[in-house]
C-alpha cells in the first residue's frame, strides 16, 4: 500500500523553543529569535508561574505553524505534557527534547526512543524468529 | 511427467529461497541503518549536553560580571524582527519494493543556515547588543557555545528522521508475508 506524506520544502524554517530562561537566552544570542508583525514569538519561557495549559497551547501552536522546522523542548517541560508529545507523529516540525540546567537528559523519557524501544524487547525478537 | 513436475517444484522452491534470502538481507540492512541512526542520535545528545553546559556556565559568568538585571528576559526584543539563524527543510523520498508492494517513506533533511559568512560577525554583535553595547567576553563565548549546540540540534533532527524512517521500514518488512 503506497502512502505519501507531503512535506513542503522550506528554505528558512524557524526553530521554536519551549524551555527555561537561560536556554532561551542562549539560543536568542545564537540568532534563533523571531517576532512576527503580530508580535508573536517563536519561543515560550517556562518558569514556576507557567501553567501546563500555556505549555500545551504553545506546543500545539508551534507544531501547527508551517514556518517552523524544529521545536526544541526541555525534557522536564516535555514531561509535563508527555501525552501530547508522545502522540505527535509528523516528521515536520521535528520535536527534540533537550536537557536543562537542573534536569539532565534521560533517554528513558525521550519520545523518539520510547517509540522504538519495543524492538529491543527480547520476547518480541524471540517470537519473530520462531 | 512426474519428473517435469518435480523439476518445476524444485525451481519454485529455489526461487522462494532466493527471495527469502534477499528479504533477509534487506531486513539486515534496515536493522543496521536503524542501529547506526540510534547510535548517532545518542552520541549527539551527549555532545549537545556538553555544549549547553558550557553555554550555561558562560552565561552565568557573564551575569555575574555584568549584573543580573543586564542579562534578563525583560530585555528581549519584542519588536518585529526575523531570525538570523534558520533551518532548511528538504524532503527525501526512499522507495522500497517489498513483495510487489511499494512503500514510500519520507526523510526530512535539515540544514542550519545563517547569514553569509561575511555577515556572521555583524549578526553576532547584533544579537549580543540586546544586552548593551559593552558586554562581557563570557557572553560572547556563551553565544559561540549555543551556536555549536544549534549545529548539534540540526544533526539530531536528521538522525531522528533517519531513526523513524528505518524503524517504519523494519516494521513494514516484519509485517509483509515471507
- Domain-by-domain residue ranges, chain B? 21-66+136-177
Q: Is residue A74 part of a domain?
A: yes
Q: Is residue A5 part of a domain?
A: no
Partnered with residue B103 across adjacent β-strands are: B96
Q: Is residue A36 part of a domain?
A: yes
Give the gyration radius of chain A's Cα atoms: 17
Report pLDDT for A114.
Answer: 86
CA distance A2 to chain B (A): 5
DSSP one-letter string for B88-108: EEEEEEEEEEETTEEEEEEEE
The CA-atom distances, in angstroms, between A119 and each of A115, A123, A129, B34, B40 are 9, 10, 13, 10, 17
Of the candidates A30, A39, A92, the beta carbon closest to that of B89 is on A92
Number of other residues whose CB lies within 10 A of the CB of residue B16: 11
* Among candidate residues B106, B104, B87, B88, the one with its CA nearest the CA of residue B96: B104
Q: Cβ–Cβ of B146/A29 closer than 8 Å?
A: yes
Q: Is residue A8 part of a domain?
A: no
Q: Cβ–Cβ of B89/A39 closer than 8 Å?
A: no
Q: Is residue A6 part of a domain?
A: no
Report pLDDT for A4.
Answer: 46
Assigned C-alpha cell, B127? 544579537
Best residue of A30, A89, A114 to probe chain B, by most B CBs closer than 10 Å? A30
Q: How far apart are CA B101 and CA B103, in angstroms?
A: 7
CA distance B66 to chain A (A): 15
Best residue of B28, B55, B87 to probe chain A, by most A CBs closer than 10 Å? B87
* Spans of chain B, pLDDT less than 70: 1-2, 19, 22, 92-121, 123, 125-126, 128-129, 176-178
Q: Cβ–Cβ of B161/A94 closer than 8 Å?
A: yes
Of the candidates B77, B88, B146, the beta carbon closest to that of A35 is on B77
Number of independent structural domains in chain A = 1
The CA-atom distances, in angstroms, between A3 and each of A66, B29, B94, B104 are 21, 22, 12, 6
CATH number at residue A20: 3.40.50.10580
Of the candidates B85, B106, B154, the beta carbon closest to that of A31 is on B85
Residue with cell 507557567: A50
Q: How far apart are CA A59 and CA B169, in angstroms?
A: 28
Domain interval for residue A118: 14-124
CA distance B104 to chain A (A): 6
Report pLDDT for B43.
Answer: 95
Give me the tens of pLDDT residue by residue for chain A, a chain 130 residues long. Answer: 334 455 566 678 899 999 999 999 999 999 899 999 999 999 999 999 999 999 999 999 999 999 999 999 999 999 999 999 999 988 889 999 999 999 999 998 999 888 887 666 654 444 444 4
pLDDT tens string B78-124: 888 888 888 888 876 554 433 333 333 344 555 555 544 556 667 67
Q: Is residue A3 part of a domain?
A: no
Whole-model pTM? 0.80
- CA of B95: which chain A residue's CA is closest? A2
Q: Which residues of B touch A5 (CB under 8 A)?
A: 106
Q: How many CB contacts within 8 angstroms connect chain A with chain B?
A: 167
Amino acid at each position: 500500500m503506497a502512502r505519501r506524506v507531503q512535506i513542503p520544502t522550506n528554505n528558512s524554517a524557524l526553530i521554536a523553543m519551549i524551555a527555561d530562561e537561560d536556554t532561551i537566552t542562549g539560543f536568542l544570542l545564537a540568532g534563533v529569535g523571531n517576532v512576527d508583525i503580530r508580535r508573536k514569538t517563536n519561543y515560550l519561557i517556562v518558569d514556576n508561574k507557567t501553567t501546563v495549559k500555556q505549555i500545551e497551547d504553545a506546543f500545539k501552536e508551534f507544531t501547527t505553524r508551517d514556518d517552523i522546522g524544529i521545536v526544541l523542548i526541555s525534557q522536564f517541560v516535555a514531561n509535563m505534557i508527555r501525552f501530547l508529545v508522545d502522540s505527535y507523529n509528523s516528521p515536520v516540525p521535528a520535536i527534540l527534547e533537550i536537557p536543562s540546567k537542573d534536569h539532565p537528559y534521560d533517554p528513558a523519557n525521550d519520545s523518539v526512543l520510547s517509540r522504538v524501544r519495543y524492538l529491543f524487547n527480547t520476547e518480541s525478537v524471540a517470537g519473530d524468529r520462531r | 511427467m512426474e519428473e517435469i513436475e518435480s523439476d518445476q517444484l524444485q525451481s519454485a522452491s529455489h526461487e522462494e529461497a532466493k527471495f527469502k534470502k534477499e528479504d533477509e538481507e534487506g531486513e539486515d540492512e534496515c536493522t543496521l541503518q536503524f542501529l547506526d541512526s540510534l547510535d548517532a542520535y545518542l552520541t549527539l545528545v551527549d555532545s549537545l549536553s556538553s555544549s549547553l553546559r558550557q553555554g550555561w556556565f558562560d552565561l552565568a559568568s557573564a551575569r555575574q560580571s555584568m549584573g543580573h538585571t543586564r542579562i534578563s528576559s525583560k530585555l528581549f526584543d519584542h519588536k518585529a524582527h526575523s531570525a538570523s539563524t534558520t533551518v532548511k527543510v528538504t524532503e527525501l523520498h526512499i522507495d522500497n519494493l517489498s513483495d510487489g508492494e511499494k512503500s514510500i517513506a519520507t526523510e526530512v533533511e535539515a540544514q542550519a543556515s545563517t547569514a553569509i559568512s561575511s555577515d556572521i560577525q555583524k549578526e553576532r554583535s547584533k544579537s549580543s547588543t540586546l544586552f548593551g553595547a559593552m558586554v562581557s567576553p563570557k557572553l560572547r563565548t556563551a553565544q559561540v557555545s549555543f551556536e555549536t549546540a544549534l549545529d548539534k540540534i540540526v544533526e539530531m533532527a536528521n538522525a531522528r528522521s533517519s531513526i523513524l524512517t528505518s524503524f517504519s521500514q523494519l516494521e513494514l518488512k516484519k509485517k509483509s508475508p515471507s
